[in-house]
Structure 1
Amino acid sequence: MASPLRFRRSTERWDDDRIDREVYADLDENLGAASPTPHYSGPNGYRTRRFEMDNGDFALFAWNDEEAFWLGNTETPSALWRTTKYTFDEVPYPIARWAQRELLADLAVESPWLAEYDYVSWFFLPVFLSKDGRESTRTFFRDHAAGFPDATRDEGLEFYERFLRTGALDDYRYTMASKLGTSQHVDPSRMSSAMSEFTVAKLLTDAGYDVTPEIEVTTGHSLDFRADPAAGTSGGSVLVEVTRPRPPRRRGADNPVTALRETAETKTNGQLSEHGGGAVLFVDCSGFRDDDWTAIAGEKPEVRHRPAVVFRARPDGRVEGYAKGSVPLSLDGALTWV
């Protein structure tokens, strides 16, 4: 499975003749290629090329006398195999800005329903146009409402658009976008679980915390987040782990309470047991339909870990939940306790 889009940087000398010989000719021989004019002018101090393959792949190339940058969801020409890979945040800003404008223009043509969701389009661009995941990731948002049952595509997109617009995860864009994956196959369960981390990040942000993802702990594991009080407020850092039960209609569990307990038990018997306590477990029931959530909210079952927050978010922003144990987070402004 190919990874999300990243640049390759070359420090060798490049010119049009060499690019034609070692890049364009390589692509054309293997895939059939054209080299149309890029959509946008390149950054000052760089020359640019665009390549489009017969199978729908694309590639961008920008260079000057000191360095060159390649970005594409296609086969990498052999002349660039030994180059180092960089994320959008790790290359010069003018290069990243030009490339992203090119890609967003492509995305707007290929998936016009995404065009009005600027932040979703930008944030997930590394996977929306990745080699293997370009179809599956967009299909997940289009056909599965980003994991919300009984919701429209636009309702799911608007929920995450509102959150991503805050910029709370901008510094961790590549880490978080990569969680959606770049598989050629749509896996709604796995992808919905990835989006649960975004939902919890939104909940924590709405409650006034700063979130940092992928926190390494002494057991060698990584927990999903560290939540830190905003500057000027009291309290210490809190580690957070997220899990998402599958709705009971998609598993062997007899009822929603059993589904909740089984999934939470898997998490608590794994990472959280080895961590030795201290982390808050967030159990995201956003995939449960109204009647299933009503049963859970009425019984408020244990999840075999404390402290824990069991919650359900709706696309319009409403969040309900209950807590087990002493949760060292102030969440009153972010959810309604049931």
Structure 2
Amino acid sequence: MARPLRFRYAPGRWTEDRVVGQIYRDLDRNLGATRRRPWFKQPDRYAGERFEMDNGDIALFIWNDEEAYWLGNTETPEALWRTEKYNFSDVPDDVSRWATRELTAQLHDESPWLEPYPALSWFFLPVFLSKDGRETTRAFFDEHAAGFPDATREEALEFYESFLRTRVLDEWREVMAGKLGTSEYLDLTRMTATMGEFNVGHLLVEAGYEIEPEIDVSTGHAIDYRAERPDGEAALVEVTRPTPTGQRRAGTPVAAVRDTAATKSEGQLEEHGGGVVLFVDCSSFPDDEWQSILAERPEVHHRPAVVFRLRPSGRIEGYTKGSVPIDIQLS
């Protein structure tokens, strides 16, 4: 499985002859390639090319007498195999902005339904245009409403657009977007679980907390969030998301919640030894299954815990177990 899009940095003197000989001819020989002018003006200190492959792959390349940057969802030319890779945030700002404009235009040309959602388009751009995941990641939002049952694509997109527009996760974009995966096979379980982390991020921000994801702890694990109140009080938060009974062997919705929570609490959280709030995101369950969970309010093998269901409208229902040190309003 390929990684999310990253730049390759190639120091050294590049000329048009070298670009043609070592980049274009390699691509054309292996895939069939056409040289194009970039759609947008590249940074002034660079010359630029856009390569379009016969199979729909694209690549961007800018260079000068001292260095070059490559970004593409296609085979890497041999001349660039041993080059270092960098995230969008780790290259010069003007290079990153230019490449983002190019790729965003490509994304919206191919999937115009994403154009009304610029924050979401930007945040997930490294996976929406990744080598292996560009079809599956878009299909997840387009055809599966990002994991919300009984919701339209537009409702799901507007919800995540509203959250990502706050920019609270911008610093961790590469990591958080990458969790969606870049596989050519649609893995609804993994993708939906990933969006559970965004759902909990939304809940924490709405409750007035500052959040920081991927907190390394002494057990060698990474806890999903550190949530801090304005007064400085903080708590660690771990997220799990059960799948509905129609997608698993558990016979009832209550069993599904118990089994999924047990896996998390008897593994990672048990090793940590306490001090973590477990959020059990039941947003994948349709109305009837969620109502049975809400009626029984099952234990989840861990305290403190928050069991909740979120709808794209922002409505939150749920219950807590134990003394939860986070002020979340549940209906």
SS of 1:10's partner is strand
Q: CA RMSD in A?
A: 0.9
2:170 corresponds to: 170
Count of residue pairs the alignment pairs up: 331
Q: CA deviation at 1:84?
A: 0.5
Q: CA deviation at 1:37?
A: 1.2
Matched residues in 1 for 2:202 and 2:164: separation?
8
1:327 corresponds to: 324
1:226-255, CA deviations, whole angstroms, 9 ceiling, x for partnerless residues? 1122xxx22422111100011112222221
TM-score normalized by structure 2? 0.98
SS of 1:35's partner is strand
Mark the runs of 5 or more structure 1 residues left unpaired by the alignment: none
Matched residues in 2 for 1:294 and 1:216: separation?
36
2:304 corresponds to: 307
2:52 corresponds to: 52
1:318 corresponds to: 315
Matched residues in 2 for 1:210 and 1:68: separation?
38
Matched residues in 1 for 2:94 and 2:158: separation?
29
Asked whether 1:73 is paired with 2:73, we answer yes
Matched residues in 1 for 2:119 and 2:235: separation?
28
Matched residues in 2 for 1:307 and 1:3: separation?
35
SS of 1:320's partner is strand
2:243 corresponds to: 246
Matched residues in 1 for 2:106 and 2:23: separation?
21
Match for 2:79: what amino acid? A
Asked whether 1:197 is paired with 2:194, we answer no
Moved over 3 A (4+): none
Q: CA deviation at 1:197?
A: 0.5
1:132 corresponds to: 132
Matched residues in 1 for 2:30 and 2:246: separation?
46
Give aligned-pair identity as a percent. 62
2:227 corresponds to: 227
Match for 1:8: what amino acid? R
Match for 2:231: what amino acid? S
Matches within 5 A, 1:1-338: 1-229=1-229, 233-332=230-329, 336-337=330-331
Match for 1:23: what amino acid? I
Matched residues in 1 for 2:53 and 2:211: separation?
40
293-302 vs 90-99, greater mean Cα deviation: 293-302
Matched residues in 2 for 1:198 and 1:44: separation?
38
Matched residues in 2 for 1:286 and 1:296: separation?
12
Match for 2:205: what amino acid? T
Q: CA deviation at 1:65?
A: 2.3
Mark the runs of 5 or more structure 2 residues left unpaired by the alignment: none
Matched residues in 1 for 2:248 and 2:21: separation?
55
Q: CA deviation at 1:95?
A: 0.3
